[in-house]
Amino acid sequence: MAKKRIGIVGAGVNGTSIAAACAARGHEVMLFDSGLAFAETSRKSSRMLHGGIRYLEQGHFGLVREALLERDEWQQLAPDATRVERFFFPIYGDSPRGRLVLYSGATLYQWLAGRFSVGKSCLHSVAEVTKAFPGLRSTGLRGAVSYCDVVMNDEDLAQTLVEEAKHRGVSLHEHTPISRIDTTGFLDINGTLQKFDRVINAAGPWASSLLERSGISSAFELEHVRGSHLILRVDLKHALVFQTAADQRIVFAIPIGQGRTLFGTTEHAHDLAEPIVCSEQEIDYLLAIYNQYMTHQIDRSDIESSYSGVRPIVRRRSESLSNISAASRDSEIEIIDQLINVFGGKWTSARRLGSKVASLTD
Ligand SMILES: Cc1cc2nc3c(=O)[nH]c(=O)nc-3n(C[C@H](O)[C@H](O)[C@H](O)COP(=O)(O)OP(=O)(O)OC[C@H]3O[C@@H](n4cnc5c(N)ncnc54)[C@H](O)[C@@H]3O)c2cc1C
Question: Is residue 254 domain-resident?
Answer: no
Total domain count for the chain? Answer: 1
If you take atom 52 of ligand 1, which residue's CA is the nearest one? 45
Question: Is residue 116 domain-resident?
Answer: no
Question: Is residue 329 domain-resident?
Answer: yes
pLDDT, residue 326, reads 44
Cβ of 194 less than 6 Å from ligand 1: no
Residue 310: strand, helix, or coil = strand
Cβ contact 78:157 at 8 Å = yes
pLDDT, residue 320, reads 58
pLDDT of 108-166, one tens digit each? Answer: 999 999 999 999 999 999 999 999 999 999 999 999 999 999 999 999 999 999 999 99
Question: Is residue 200 domain-resident?
Answer: yes
Taking each helix axis from N to C terminus, what angle separates 350-359 and 13-24, rounded to the nearest 10 degrees?
Answer: 50
**pTM, to two decimals:** 0.96
Cβ contact 257:235 at 8 Å = no
Give the Å distance between the CA of 44 and the centre of ligand 1: 8
Cβ of 55 less than 6 Å from ligand 1: no
Cβ of 10 less than 6 Å from ligand 1: yes
Question: Is residue 175 domain-resident?
Answer: yes
* Beta carbons within 10 angstroms of residue 294's beta carbon: 18
Beta strands in the chain (DSSP E): 5-9, 28-32, 48-49, 82-92, 122-124, 141-152, 171-173, 178-181, 186-189, 192-195, 198-201, 220-232, 239-243, 250-257, 260-264, 268-269, 303-316, 331-336, 339-344
Residue ranges in the chain whose pLDDT is less than 50: 323-327
287 contact partners, CB below 8 Å, separation of at least 6: 230, 298, 299, 300
Question: Is residue 64 domain-resident?
Answer: no
Nearest-angstrom CA–CA distance, 301 and 293 = 18
Query: Which of 324, 346, 351 gets mutated to test ligand 1 (max ligand atoms within 8 A of its CB)?
Result: 346
Question: Is residue 288 domain-resident?
Answer: no
**Chain mean position to CA 243:** 20
pLDDT, residue 324, reads 46
Measured from the CA of 15, which atom of ligand 1 is nearest?
25
Domain with residue 357: its CATH number is: 3.50.50.60
Question: Is residue 199 domain-resident?
Answer: yes
Task: Tell me how many degrees the CA angle 152-10-16 measures, rounded to the nearest 5.
Answer: 50
Structural domain boundaries, residue 209: 1-47+153-219+317-362
